[in-house]
Structure 1
Amino acid sequence: MEVFDCIRTRRSIRKYKDKPVPWDNVVEILQAGKYAPFAGNIFNVKFIVVKNEAKREAIAEASVQQYWMQDAPVHIVVVGEPEKAERYYGTRGARLYTIQGAAAAVENMLLTSHSLGLGSCWVGAFDEEEIRRLCNLPEHVNVQGIITIGYADENPSSPPKHRIEHIMFFEKWFGRIEGPKTGLGYWSPY
């Protein structure tokens, strides 16, 4: 699958078939997360793979009762280690760069799941302390997100997307195209 096609056709999947995901696919998805960009190449995330049914049910409960999650045969809990980034970048590293790196890793894993014919969903709503307890996480790490993975049992339609001219400016806020015509043509969003 071409990269842009993968990006364009990926959907958040919340209904899964009762079919196991091959371990080789899980490893490939984790490898994709490993190749995400991190500030200063400080890889400060870890991935907790959860396949146990009772634990997946508990994670769904701790994720503000999103019970659809328990049907996904694989959960990946993405955990950040902010202290590693803080050593080099101070508060900005701990608060921002850790989140950015984890988000890049999650997107890589979502796209890889889709390219392998699997469905996935990025879950950001959860009780962090309960997830910490369920996954036996140390105090110095924090939960950045949860990814559900499995074979899709739904085919969601594409949500509406903004036109490019409504989401970008040139050079500055509300900046307009000036000068020669570009591939986007002459336009201003306002």
Structure 2
Amino acid sequence: MTKTEKTKQFIIEKSSVHFNKIGYLGTSLRDITNLTGLTKGSIYGNFENKEEVAKAAYKYNAKRIGNKIISALNQSPSGAINKLMAIVDFYKNNWSVIIETGGCPLLNAATESDDAFPKLNIEVRKSFIGFTKIFEDIIKNGIEERIFKHDLNIKEYASTMVMLIEGGVLLSKTMADKEYLNISLKRIENLIHNEMKL
């Protein structure tokens, strides 16, 4: 990495959790300078404006949680059911870490960027498409492996699982009670074993 690339990465890493906790619009340039110890000129020397820092921080946050999910999938046994359960277990086991860093970055950014930050909203859409595709690919593999029913609506089930996870995280964080997430994850398990499985 060049010196410029290292500085940009430093700014992103130092401000990423703050952006996720306080908000991508709510985080000020002063917050960024305080977090990084850099001057306003240094920030603007590496990013066009605060919105560009926010977008980079979001992409970093989304990639970080995405990589953790992929790692959980790679470490799980083969088979579609095992892969889906690896995602369920990831959220069960990492609830406290997700909350400590401000909650799900996809959910936080989606809520905030819908109308007020169109450039960020584009990135959030990409993230949700990617997250849903993980489920779609696993379900498709399960059908090919003859583990799941051949006539499943792959997109519908994948989208439902994403919605259950994100809704569970949202309600659990809002109510400060993990049980709401557990209810959502149990519903996913029920879908797998009682609706999808042959």
Q: TM-score range by the shorter chain?
A: under 0.3
Higher RCO structure (Cα 8 Å, ≥6 apart): 1
TM-score, reference length from structure 1: 0.28
Relative to its length, the structure with more helix (as a share) is 2
Relative to its length, the structure with more strand (as a share) is 1
TM-score, reference length from structure 2: 0.27
